[in-house]
Amino acid sequence: MKIKHRWKTLLLAVLSVSIVLLGSIYYLRSVQNSLWLKSVTDVLEVTAQGCHALDTYIEKDMEMLHWLAEDLSAEDSRDGKAIQEEMLHLSGDSGSSYICVSLDTNTCYGTQPGEAQKLNPEQAEALLALQGNGIREPYLDGRTGVWTLGYYERFSFKDGAEGFLQKSLPLSTVAERFSLSFYDDTGFSYVVSPQGDILIRSLHRNSNRTFQNLFDIIDLQGNDPDEIRSFQAALELGKKGAARFYYQEEDYVFCYVPMENTPGWYLVSIVPNRVIMEQTHNIVQNSQVFLILILVSGLIMAAFYIVHRTTSRRILQAEERARLAAESANTAKSRFLSNMSHDIRTPMNAIIGMTQLASRHAGEPDKVREYLKNIELSGQLLVGLINDILDMSKIESGKMKLNNMDTSLETLLTNLVRIIQPTAAQKNQGFHIYLHGITHETLSFDPLRLNQVLINLLSNAVKFTPEGGAVRVDITESPSVRENRAHLTIRVADTGIGMKPEYLRHIFDSFSREQDDRVHQTEGTGLGMAIVKMIVDMMEGTITVDSRPGEGSVFTVDLDLLLAAAADQENPALPGIRILIADSDPEESRTTAEFLRALGLSPDLVPSGEAAVQKAAAAHSHGNDYTLILLDAELEDPDAVGTALAILEQTGEKPPSLLLSAYDCAGMEEEAAAAGIKDFLQKPLLKTALYRCICQNVLGDKPAATCKDMSQDLTGRRILLAEDNMLNQEIARELLEGLGAQMDVVSNGLACVESFEKSSPGHYDLILMDVQMPVMNGYEATKQIRGLDRADAGVIPILAMTADAFAEDVEAALAAGMNGHLAKPLDIPTMIRQIHLLLNGNGD
């Protein structure tokens, strides 16, 4: 039995040695071929880089020429002195020369005074043949006897005369810019045309100075005619690649790359094949290493039996752990699918049910409006669920990127209050945001993602806090340990149902929700907190949670945010202004006072409306009236309006400016205005907002433009809609025609381009463009419209209207030439507002 086992071991060893030997032979051949391909790829890459460098060099020259053409277009074609003055500063430009020609009079101006001369008919005819802008093929300058490259641009003088501007420079100067060398200066390059004509010759020592055509060089070396024709065809078709030919008594590799800014020009690099192959010889010489592998394989086989049992046991244990992990993941995903099914079916059931009810009560407008409102709310819930799932997918795949920009905390908090406050008010919950030590109001971060984090935290706080509870946000700024950053600590606390300790360990896991009847009564996929955690991690921050059942939860987010590129503007001090603050919340009152002191003011603080009336009356009796009184909307006994009326009675003919601060002033504007309250401030109050308000209401500065409700009248406007979905077509048509717009509808991008092209300039005021359409998508259609040769092609507003709703989709729409982006399902007020902005020239 042992002898049989030994024979099996020996046979296995021999088989292993044979496999290693055969593998070595295959390996050497494959390495030799792979190394050659890698080297050729490297030459192609260097050639492409050289091509890009030459393209950039030409692009910069063309750009400078265009700037000069724009300057000259402001001059009169007969004012030779002014033309030459515009060109004088270019007279010492690295051996290059400039001319400007008035094609109406055939007068040519140089860069030196007195160089104006008349062109002969042949010269004028040659220049008239050159249209637009571009590059002339290299020519022999009759004046200098030097091969020259010329950039040109046609333009119009101020008086309407046609002008021609040209920059000329010696080919040798251009050649120095792209003269590439490879493998210890054994390779070199040419710039050629698709016909093989050598346009620019490398300064390399091996560059042929005699031949004028690259194909002539190859053809005379006895190369295969079919390979030469294949090379010619590749150049004519604008391809990039490599070919091998016999040249100068040895094999050479020809790598060719088309230039981007000069259509029809190629950069061709030529490298001896022997140089490329030299690297493989070293590997062949070192093939003896593979003999060592044979011995090593024998040792491995001997050791294999010894460790076999141990490794097998470990493998089985690892497989068991993997199986348990897979089962746990499947269980979590099954739970997620169950939750998602419930949460999607719930609003879907509401939508279907409410639609049926609306149909039954079609003759009762009030009921139909209520049903439609419920349908809209359910639809919004569905969109939120789907967005959570898509966000999670993009974060886990690594495709989500942060879009940092300078953003004001005032803007962030204002939007946050407008979203959260109405929901909190419906549940009669106290909602307050407190600021501590805020010195930088503008920071650089991704406002969309930070807003997503805060809305998730606050929505959960409101959702899981019973009626009459409280939700509190504390935002504290402190010095950051990282340079050029500010440290923000955002603390979201609620008095809700809290969480069990065992669930807190999994709160940031995907697909997880606490097993609690109170939780099951609320919608959610179990993805919100996982998304929050991943976004915070992307922002290089931390998030922690502290919670106890029945006592509420506290989430703390710590972030180090970049300071804005432009520092916060320092507001000048406002001495001589007496301010009284009446606020029953001592923390809000303290923060407001700190900001006012930073503005050079010394406000007086009182905790109630009654105290505010007494304080104002006392100041008036001493002839030292307050200039401004800031009243909190939550004052009681009397309330803010009653306090304002009482102050007006006490202060007489010259009452102070009365302002009202609140998280939501809806429903009290008229009553407050009747009581003399001049303005409303949304909490939380920041220093900049206080300064702006004082300037407007005390110092008499004109208020900044506010975003008022825009008129929804689109009468006289003609809109072209490109949309392949019939229902979406009907919705957009009905909506916009109901506002007075005239609609033309097409079902694909190509039809949209054709409709616009056939219309007269100015016929359409705006294009609504879907992205995913048959025949031609919205991106390509937009690019073709922008490229049309007509006055309105580049300026007509084009608004993307698409279900592609991620940040990169917005960027793609703008990159294609669109002016804005609307995500489906459409938010109708947002769409109308965006259309008005674009039609009124404010949608840039």
The predicted-structure confidence for 685-697, as pLDDT tens digits, reads as follows: 888 888 888 888 7
pLDDT at residue number 29: 73
To the nearest 10°, report the CA torsion of 579, 581, 582, 583: 170
- Judge if 762 and 810 occupy the same domain: yes
How does pLDDT run across 489-548, given as a tens digit for each residue? 999 999 988 888 877 777 877 555 544 544 444 455 567 788 888 889 989 999 999 988
Residue 190 has pLDDT above 90, yes or no: no
- Judge if 410 and 513 occupy the same domain: yes
Is there a domain that residue 632 lies in? yes
Residue 798 has pLDDT above 90, yes or no: yes
Question: What are the residues whose beta carbons fall under 8 Å from the beta carbon of 735, sequence distance 6 or more?
Answer: 828
- How many whole angstroms separate alpha carbon 78 and alpha carbon 760? 36
- How many whole angstroms separate alpha carbon 773 and alpha carbon 775? 7
Q: Mind giving me the DSSP string for 106-174? A: TEEE-SSTT--EEPPHHHHHHHHT--SEEEEEEEE-TTT-SEEEEEEEEEE-TTS-EEEEEEEEEHHHH
pLDDT higher at 399 or 32: 32
- Judge if 389 and 412 occupy the same domain: no
Q: Mind giving me the DSSP string for 719-787? A: EEEE-S-HHHHHHHHHHHHHTT-EEEEESSHHHHHHHHHHSPTTS-SEEEE-SS-SSS-HHHHHHHHHT
pLDDT at residue number 710: 38
- Judge if 540 and 630 occupy the same domain: no
- Judge if 661 and 748 occupy the same domain: no
Is there a domain that residue 737 lies in? yes
Residue 454 has pLDDT above 60, yes or no: yes
How does pLDDT run across 246-296, given as a tens digit for each residue? 877 788 888 999 988 788 888 888 888 887 777 666 666 665 566 566 666
Q: Kindly report the pTM of this predicted structure.
A: 0.49
Q: pLDDT above 90 covers what percent of the chain?
A: 17
Is there a domain that residue 797 lies in? yes
Domain boundary among 346, 361, 394: 394
pLDDT at residue number 703: 45
Residue 312 CB neighbours (<10 A)? 10
- Judge if 440 and 586 occupy the same domain: no
Mean pLDDT of 811-834: 81
The CATH number of whichever domain residue 363 belongs to comes to 1.10.287.130
pLDDT at residue number 719: 94
**Lowest-confidence region among 8-12, 123-127, 748-752:** 8-12
How does pLDDT run across 623-654, given as a tens digit for each residue? 888 888 888 888 887 888 888 888 888 887 66
- How many whole angstroms separate alpha carbon 608 and alpha carbon 604? 12
Strand-pairing partners, residue 357, are none
- Judge if 310 and 434 occupy the same domain: no
Strand-pairing partners, residue 555, are 492, 545
- Judge if 475 and 539 occupy the same domain: yes
| Domain of residue 824, residue span | 718-839
List the helix and strand counts (H, then E) for the chain: 24, 28
With cut-offs at 50, 70 and 90, classify the pLDDT of residue 704.
very low
Q: Structural domain tally of the chain?
A: 5
- Judge if 352 and 415 occupy the same domain: no
The CATH number of whichever domain residue 649 belongs to comes to 3.40.50.2300
Q: Mind giving me the DSSP string for 444-476? A: EE-HHHHHHHHHHHHHHHHHTS-TT-EEEEEEE
How does pLDDT run across 392-436, given as a tens digit for each residue? 555 555 566 777 888 889 888 887 887 788 888 888 999 999 999
Residue identified by tokens 């409700």 is 709
Domain boundary among 139, 170, 201: 170
How does pLDDT run across 239-251, given as a tens digit for each residue? 889 888 887 778 8
Burial bucket for residue 465 (CB in 10 Å: 0-12, 13-18, 19+): buried
| Candidate ranges 202-211, 531-540, 764-773; pick with highest mean pLDDT | 764-773
pLDDT at residue number 521: 46
Q: Mind giving me the DSSP string for 402-434? A: ---EEEEHHHHHHHHHHHHHHHHHHTT-EEEEE
Q: pLDDT above 70 covers what percent of the chain?
A: 78
Is there a domain that residue 482 lies in? yes
